Chain A
Amino acid sequence: MMHEWIPREFAFLDAHVPTLFVAFLLAAAAIWLIDKVLAAWGIYDLVWYPALLRVSLFFGLFSVFGLMVY
């Protein structure tokens, strides 16, 4: 499984950084891209509460990335 070879912490310039933080940044970047695509296709016109969709997508993605680590 992935979590067996992904470390939970790594050293970045001699500072310990939790991998979860990287997962957070990755999820944020991914959401930023997905959000652009959704807005360009007009998906948000069909959604009742766009902000909720955006936030839940982010948390879903972040959880997926997080579960890869743990």
Chain B
Amino acid sequence: MLSTQHINHCIQRLLAGMALLRQGARLVAVCLQQAGTDWYRQDFPLIGYLFKYLLAAFLALWVALKMEMDQPATALLTVVIVMHFRSGMVITKSYYRLIGTVIGILFSMLLVAWFAQDRFPFFIAAALWIGMCTAGSLVYRNFQSYGFVLAGYTLCIVGLPATLTPWHTFQIASTRMSEIGVGLLSATLVSELVLPQRLWENIQAVVRSKFRDFSVLLGTGAPAGLNQPFLKFMQDIYQLEAFRSSAQFETDDARVHSATINRLNVQFMAVSTTYVVLQRLIQRLQTRVASKEADALQVLMQPLSAAVLIDGQPASHAEAITRVQQAVAAFQHDFDTRLAVQLQHLLMHPEVNQLEVETGGELLSRLAKELTAYLDTYALLVAQPRARKVASREFTADQLHMHIDWLPVSIAATRGALTLLILAAIWMTIDWPSGILAMTLGVITSTLFAASPAPMATIRQFSVGVLLGIVLVYISNVFWLTAVHDYVMLCIAITPAVLLTAWLSARPATTLVGAGLGIAYFLMVGFNQALGDNPVKYFNDSIALMVALVVSGIMFSLTDYAASPWAKARVFTQLRKLVVDACLHASMTAPIFEMRTRDLIQRSGSVHRPQEAESVRVVEALCAALEVGHAVLALRAVARGVLAQPYQLVQRTLTLVASYYKQPGLAQQQAVLQWLDHFLAWLQGGEYADALLPSQVRKLTTQLHFIRLVIAAEMPQDQASTSTGADS
């Protein structure tokens, strides 16, 4: 018999066991939920994207077949070209693709109308057109550049086939246009309506991470050097610009905030430059034996560093941002008194150069001012995006200025034109049936990769994709398409290629492989005029694609401008040229100087390789150019308000600085330094004190002193370069 005690004991153990089980179950549920949300956040978008890609392709195929178009594969190719992870990007890409196609078609018709009877003028005009398109694709950024690629490519798919049957030109043009239209409509419809991925989240993430990084940098200083963070910031700025330029067709907040984002970018450029310049000044002062000046500047900087971090962390929510804003405003408010106290304090040390602390103080107050402006815009964008509607109207921050270097542009244009001419010559001399296909791919590669920082690596990746595509075409033409007898089976037959293309192009490391695969597959797949396999055509076409890749690879390696040491030397020369422009041209303002300098570096491709020693040198040169350029521009801004005689002296300073930057030799440097010493002595002597206000004297003095510091510091580097020049 069981005693009640025994039963109670059993029940208790049972209850304990059940509690344990419940706890375990809860743990499992939590784990599953966690895994589920992780999956939903990370993997689900990719699966959704693959699904969307397939859906768009099937829709385009169905419409193209239903309308009995000549080449349904062109519609599919269009889908492959414009599909993108983000919905807004698809619409923007389609928009530029449409413009490029329409212009390309119009030009093809003109070309056929003019030169259909003679091939030489035809190909020369076509080569000129391709050259122009290549140049355009290099000059413009983002998807605008894409429009030019498409304008060139359309010439190949409309103009070249039309030369064989000129009386069908109009028909060819209108069918290609409809096929492309079907592709564009399906891609945009599907990516808008099915699981749309909005840009606004990306933009906010970039904006926030940029702010976080900058706060940490401001708060803790840069123990590991400034170059890496500065490069990172530049990357962020251009990424944000890329997102912004694609946001104009979005439905969400991104479009409304476009102007604000632009303004934020410009302000961020200003504030990060000022910070870097200030830090470089402090570092330069620290290299001296007695660095009382650097210590004083760091003491002055300290409250600002403390202000941007809250409990050692960057501000993350609206309240924290408001607190940072208030702290920075307070810093600005009593900065002048603190500077005066420091200067008073330094009077005790006669060896200290007060002017250097004043120069730093000037920079620091500019930093605080720019930081305030940046914080205001940031708060508007992140903390209270809903309260923007009125505020966003007044922003008229202009576009990011471009710096166009015509030399690489003309090299690329020549390359594009030559690639077309070489392939055309092969086509004509050996009477090759697949010449048009080769020219099409040749033009695609030479326009699409013109702006690539490392074209050889790009071509290699793309070629891997094309090879994969050729293999896949063989399998699907010979084994799958021959078994197809209705729409559903056709869909099944093309599914592997579509999925593989989508998957490869969604991963950043293999985007180009995906592009090559998609383009090669849908250029060659066998359901255009007749379904199924035609071995002769298949081999001809594969050889054509390979020949095109080889020719454009050779052309790229022969004219690889970006990799030549000459191009790198030119970047430095151009930076100096921009400083000269800042000295001499009245149209150059601080933001324009800033944007053009950064755009030059961005286009030189160094931003993409932040680890290399070469990039570090480029960034050093960029910082040096920014530093002196801004000082010169500030000097000019002060000089605008002064009387004739000091104004002429400032003009003379500018001319001398410009001549030094034009020809960085020892003699010019000595001349500038002597003149600056003379000018500074004149200003400090108070000889013409009645000609200038005290505040103007102070501003002029600090800027001149700063320019003197920078130019004097350039000495060792300069001697090194002249001595190596003499050695070689």
Residue ranges of A at the interface with B (Cβ–Cβ < 8 Å):
15, 39-40, 42, 44-45, 50-52, 54-55
Please name 23 pairs of A and B residues whose Cβ atoms are closer than 8 Å in the assembled complex, sorted by A.
Answer: A15-B170, A39-B251, A39-B255, A39-B256, A40-B256, A40-B389, A42-B389, A44-B251, A44-B252, A45-B386, A50-B251, A50-B252, A51-B87, A51-B192, A51-B193, A51-B196, A51-B251, A52-B193, A54-B192, A54-B251, A55-B189, A55-B192, A55-B193
| Residue on B nearest A51 in the bound complex, by CB | B192
State A52–B195 Cα separation when bound (angstroms).
Answer: 11
State A45–B252 Cα separation when bound (angstroms).
Answer: 8
State A44–B198 Cα separation when bound (angstroms).
Answer: 14
Q: Among residues 355 to 401 in chain B, which have CB atoms less than 8 Å away from a CB atom of chain A?
A: 386, 389
Q: How far is the CB of B590 from chain A (nearest CB, A)?
A: 32
Interface size class of B (residues with CB under 8 A): 10 to 19
| Residue on A nearest B393 in the bound complex, by CB | A40
- Which B residues are in CB contact (< 8 Å) with A39? 251, 255-256
| Residue on A nearest B255 in the bound complex, by CB | A39
> Interface readout for B387-421 with A: 1 if CB under 8 Å, 0 if not?
00100000000000000000000000000000000
State A39–B193 Cα separation when bound (angstroms).
Answer: 18
| Residue on A nearest B174 in the bound complex, by CB | A15
| Residue on B nearest A53 in the bound complex, by CB | B251
Ranked nearest first, the 5 interchain pairs of A and B with the lowest CB-CB distance are A50-B251, A51-B192, A44-B251, A51-B196, A51-B193
Residue ranges of B at the interface with A (Cβ–Cβ < 8 Å):
87, 170, 174, 189, 192-193, 196, 251-252, 255-256, 386, 389
State A42–B251 Cα separation when bound (angstroms).
Answer: 10
- A39, A51, A52 — which one has the most chain B CB atoms within 10 A of its CB? A51
Q: How far is the CB of B95 from chain A (nearest CB, A)?
A: 11
- Which B residues are in CB contact (< 8 Å) with A40? 256, 389
- Which A residues are in CB contact (< 8 Å) with B251? 39, 44, 50-51, 54
A interface majority secondary structure: helix
- Which A residues are in CB contact (< 8 Å) with B389? 40, 42
- Which A residues are in CB contact (< 8 Å) with B174? 15
| Residue on B nearest A38 in the bound complex, by CB | B251
State A54–B389 Cα separation when bound (angstroms).
Answer: 21
State A15–B170 Cα separation when bound (angstroms).
Answer: 9
- Which A residues are in CB contact (< 8 Å) with B256? 39-40
- Which B residues are in CB contact (< 8 Å) with A55? 189, 192-193
| Residue on B nearest A41 in the bound complex, by CB | B389
- Which B residues are in CB contact (< 8 Å) with A54? 192, 251
| Residue on A nearest B192 in the bound complex, by CB | A51
State A15–B169 Cα separation when bound (angstroms).
Answer: 13
State A40–B255 Cα separation when bound (angstroms).
Answer: 10
Q: How far is the CB of B728 from chain A (nearest CB, A)?
A: 60
State A51–B386 Cα separation when bound (angstroms).
Answer: 20
State A7–B192 Cα separation when bound (angstroms).
Answer: 34
Q: How far is the CB of A44 from chain B (nearest CB, A)?
A: 5
| Residue on A nearest B191 in the bound complex, by CB | A51
- Which B residues are in CB contact (< 8 Å) with A42? 389
Q: How far is the CB of B387 from chain A (nearest CB, A)?
A: 11
State A52–B251 Cα separation when bound (angstroms).
Answer: 10
- Which A residues are in CB contact (< 8 Å) with B196? 51
Q: How far is the CB of A26 from chain B (nearest CB, A)?
A: 16
State A40–B196 Cα separation when bound (angstroms).
Answer: 21
Q: How far is the CB of A48 from chain B (nearest CB, A)?
A: 12
State A52–B191 Cα separation when bound (angstroms).
Answer: 11
- Which B residues are in CB contact (< 8 Å) with A45? 386
| Residue on A nearest B388 in the bound complex, by CB | A42
Q: How far is the CB of A32 from chain B (nearest CB, A)?
A: 10
State A15–B105 Cα separation when bound (angstroms).
Answer: 15
State A55–B196 Cα separation when bound (angstroms).
Answer: 13
- Which A residues are in CB contact (< 8 Å) with B189? 55
State A41–B389 Cα separation when bound (angstroms).
Answer: 8
Besides A51-B251, A52-B193, A54-B251, 19 other A-B contacts (C-beta < 8 A) = A15-B170, A15-B174, A39-B251, A39-B255, A40-B256, A42-B389, A44-B251, A44-B252, A45-B386, A50-B251, A50-B252, A51-B87, A51-B192, A51-B193, A51-B196, A54-B192, A55-B189, A55-B192, A55-B193
State A40–B256 Cα separation when bound (angstroms).
Answer: 7
State A55–B256 Cα separation when bound (angstroms).
Answer: 19
- Which A residues are in CB contact (< 8 Å) with B192? 51, 54-55
- Which A residues are in CB contact (< 8 Å) with B252? 44, 50
| Residue on B nearest A56 in the bound complex, by CB | B193
- Which B residues are in CB contact (< 8 Å) with A44? 251-252
- Which A residues are in CB contact (< 8 Å) with B170? 15
State A15–B174 Cα separation when bound (angstroms).
Answer: 10
State A39–B388 Cα separation when bound (angstroms).
Answer: 13
State A37–B538 Cα separation when bound (angstroms).
Answer: 52
Q: How far is the CB of B8 from chain A (nearest CB, A)?
A: 57
- Which B residues are in CB contact (< 8 Å) with A52? 193
- Which A residues are in CB contact (< 8 Å) with B87? 51
State A52–B193 Cα separation when bound (angstroms).
Answer: 6
State A62–B602 Cα separation when bound (angstroms).
Answer: 44
Q: How far is the CB of A58 from chain B (nearest CB, A)?
A: 10
Q: How far is the CB of B418 from chain A (nearest CB, A)?
A: 35
Q: How far is the CB of A45 from chain B (nearest CB, A)?
A: 8
Q: How far is the CB of A1 from chain B (nearest CB, A)?
A: 28
State A38–B493 Cα separation when bound (angstroms).
Answer: 43
State A55–B185 Cα separation when bound (angstroms).
Answer: 11
- Which B residues are in CB contact (< 8 Å) with A51? 87, 192-193, 196, 251
| Residue on B nearest A44 in the bound complex, by CB | B251
| Residue on A nearest B178 in the bound complex, by CB | A21
State A1–B256 Cα separation when bound (angstroms).
Answer: 41
Q: How far is the CB of B593 from chain A (nearest CB, A)?
A: 34
State A49–B587 Cα separation when bound (angstroms).
Answer: 47
